[in-house]
Structure 1
């Protein structure tokens, strides 16, 4: 009598050599003789470079002390960063008033958390808080002169604090302005299109240093007598306008990638131009443009170092000026490493959030 098995045998798990870390390494690092050689060479070079860097920055580094004479080892002298940390973070902001800057950081962090994360599904009130309440509250906190707060001149702002102010304001202003310019460049009205094209091409044809120089030095010459703007405000206007021109081209590229049938379908449903653009076209265009938009933001964040030309001491400038102090001459290497690490953290954070947002919205359109 024959015995026939009717039950399905459970599927066996894939071999360990094809999954997990081992599988990834076999597929990406050791898939061929050439890849094996390249992996070994790259690993050796990375080991030599990282071991020297780790030894210099941590193992042989000096962390304790208050003066340069306390740095006796062959590694980095982080005593310089420790003693100058307050100035590097806040510039020349009064020490007893720095709590106002910290409160502003907390307000911004809360707004960004609820707007950029999925904790709250309805973004209306978090957006109103971040773009409406926070700028006013931060202006009152940072500048003072209201509610009994001591007024602090913008000339005393500096360090990482000034860098974040320049970057955040320029980013938040350049995106909506860039969208308006992109729509204007694609407008059917000749005058509007010519104005937008002329602005975009003119700004993209000159370096940011020129724009900052014009905004800080030349602009006051064209203003009526007695009318003047703060140097920081002029820098913010110049950087925002400069970034908006590049942002306009990024958004325009996204708009051109949307098929014309999307607009035609919106019109067939009875939607007007602005309704179709706001609810159908722009969301798709901005989703496609996420990598380029974040790339522009990262470039703008790094370009804040150029404000030194108009006398503003950002993070890099304040560290560089600290190394000219006779007590800390020769500490430029430690200062530049610290600045590079700070910029890397912010830029890498924006990059990782961009990747997360792309995966969430399926921006890659993988097939």
Structure 2
């Protein structure tokens, strides 16, 4: 009987595997868009933070401090319930789905972290690089474009990839606001089959799926850190 029960539990997991894969795809989509939006916004905030003008630096620093120290779940709830359910554009009502709101909620702390990664990369450039560029009469734009930024991107890549892995794990919070992702699929499957053994197995599978996706990113990050350690 125990063998039959175990077999039925694994059979149920196989039946739910396509749905779990679709749910994981939703988490990956959210993480990719959140990091993309957060990176673009973070580079802009980071650039403002390096400005010579205090009025431009101050908002950038406030942005970084606010969204680096705000709980992600609070940001997700805030964005979900503050933003409308649909947007009126050109006489049409376009839906504003919850998964997109979660993406924005995760993009906010991502942008603050990217801004700090960018600032740290700039600060890590030796002073001799700046002095050499000035001695060659490079303008500030030429210094950044030809000398500083190419070195910064190499230094930014490992922490940026680590941030992406963290954001991916953070997408597990999406199910709390009704997004049909991997966690939500697992909950539905657990309630449908309604067996303790299956519940343990499916949540172990969720853990394994997140690990299988994030672990290679972590290993690649470590390799890049060793590769660029002496740049």
Q: TM-score range by the shorter chain?
A: 0.7 to 0.9
Any gaps of 5 or more consecutive residues in structure 2?
none
Find the aligned partners of 2:138 and 2:80 in 1 and give their Cα distance: 45
Match for 2:176 among 309, 334, 342?
Answer: 309
Partner SS for 1:324: helix
Q: Give the match for residue 20 of structure 2.
A: 88
Q: Give the match for residue 102 of structure 2.
A: 235
Per-residue displacement from partner, 1:6-55 (whole Å, max 9, x unpaired)?
A: xxxxxxxxxxxxxxxxxxxxxxxxxxxxxxxxxxxxxxxxxxxxxxxxxx
Deviation at 1:227, TM superposition (A): 8.1
Find the aligned partners of 1:227 and 1:347 in 2 and give their Cα distance: 34
Partner SS for 1:271: coil
Q: Residues 229, 271 of structure 1: CA spacing in aligned structure 2 closer, same or farther, 3 A cutoff?
A: farther
Deviation at 1:337, TM superposition (A): 1.5
Bigger-Rg structure (1/2) = 1
Q: Residues 301, 239 of structure 1: CA spacing in aligned structure 2 closer, same or farther, 3 A cutoff?
A: same
Q: Residues 287, 84 of structure 1: CA spacing in aligned structure 2 closer, same or farther, 3 A cutoff?
A: same
Q: Give the match for residue 135 of structure 1.
A: none
Show structure 1 runs of 4+ deviating over 6 A.
none
Structure number with greater CO (CA < 8 Å, separation at least 6) is 2
Q: Give the match for residue 127 of structure 2.
A: 260
Find the aligned partners of 2:6 and 2:95 in 1 and give their Cα distance: 51
Show the 5 A alignment for 1:178-189.
178-189=42-53
Q: Is the 8 A contact 1:255 1:285 kept in 2?
A: yes
Find the aligned partners of 2:31 and 2:3 in 1 and give their Cα distance: 35
Q: Is the 8 A contact 1:322 1:328 kept in 2?
A: no
Structure showing the higher helix proportion among its residues = 2
Show the 5 A alignment for 1:158-177.
159-177=23-41
Q: Give the match for residue 213 of structure 1.
A: 77
Does residue 1:322 correspond to 2:189, yes or no? yes
Q: Is the 8 A contact 1:173 1:240 kept in 2?
A: yes
Find the aligned partners of 1:188 and 1:252 in 2 and give their Cα distance: 14
Find the aligned partners of 1:364 and 1:265 in 2 and give their Cα distance: 22
Q: Residues 232, 201 of structure 1: CA spacing in aligned structure 2 closer, same or farther, 3 A cutoff?
A: same
* TM-score normalized with structure 2 length: 0.85
